[in-house]
Structure 1
């Protein structure tokens, strides 16, 4: 059976854990050569090892999305000797944790950190992915956003601001590059069972957050990855500029 993404290449930021890892596994399972990038070599190596053990093709590149030269080098590494970058999946991010504060009391340093990683880091990743895709005349970018980029959430002003900005960048870039054969979309997950979400949260807080999702359960990373893969694929060829909720009904409340 022909694999859907045979001969194609992908760069996945934040590819060492969570949604990034699940997406890397899903793309590689369909024949894509996947480059995973992030700050922690050990988790990136785990992703690569898992892909290779399943018969897929993957490589890693240690990079920090807040450093422009690092991002540029990561995109070059993903292109490699293939001369192409078919997919950019931007999954690197920070949630800011659960120390909730109303805006007037929100720590400025936390706001700056979230904007630096979740918004500026996304901008830099898209900047260099889009340069390659524009020049080659094709490509699909999928940004991993959040339901917090579509609705307000109290106590997390920095995260909400950064994720709303991510939706804006997605829409702006979709319009900038539609005529160049490049599509740009986002997914907006609800609560997902990843290390970023599960660490340090009390059972009471987790129960309250799950209850906010009408489906009544937490998502698994591969459920979000399925949506990302569809947005990468030719099956979504007429879709650009959308932020697709994959959130168990969270944003429909």
Structure 2
């Protein structure tokens, strides 16, 4: 309810402002993990294209529910390709879709790794507190489910979630719990280490790619777009050399 109200208020502000502005407007639904590079790209394109760009952020599933309910918006950027695959038959996407980068899950611990955490097995330890994301909300939750099932099957997945002291909603929520010392270990998107002061707070422990495969990040043009040519231009910029440099800076490309 709170999410829907927040989105509705943002949407009303955006639509009302467009009534008094001559600039065309593009609304982007953006998964939380990708917000920083997309904001930087949007700031560039606002000037270069002389347009207004509104970004609404959240978990990939919640964002889709918002665009499905409102039936407005121009671009949907999900945390991973599986959201496009899951929702494509709903009828909201065009066939204009580009891969704008990739992400990979990793283990996050406090700087210096004070509890000597080394692998996914540590999720079952009794002497540390863990947080995992709900796999029905954020993209990292969906990936966490895949990682744990790949590693130890459904039994390990169940034990790991039962042993967690918190269940997060998205990547931002997970890192917030870790930074506030509510937990000692988490699984999150590796790229989030580039956010804010996270490099000073966290140590990242890689997970073998056989368990945590790299996942492509899609940007898709929505059928509801009122400015499809502008929306295509934004997607094209993200995959251009200039856009790739920005995505690389935030850890979404090597």
Please identify the structure whose Cα radius of gyration is greater.
2
> How does the TM-score come out when normalised to structure 2?
0.29
Greater relative contact order (Cα 8 A, min sep 6): structure 1 or 2?
2
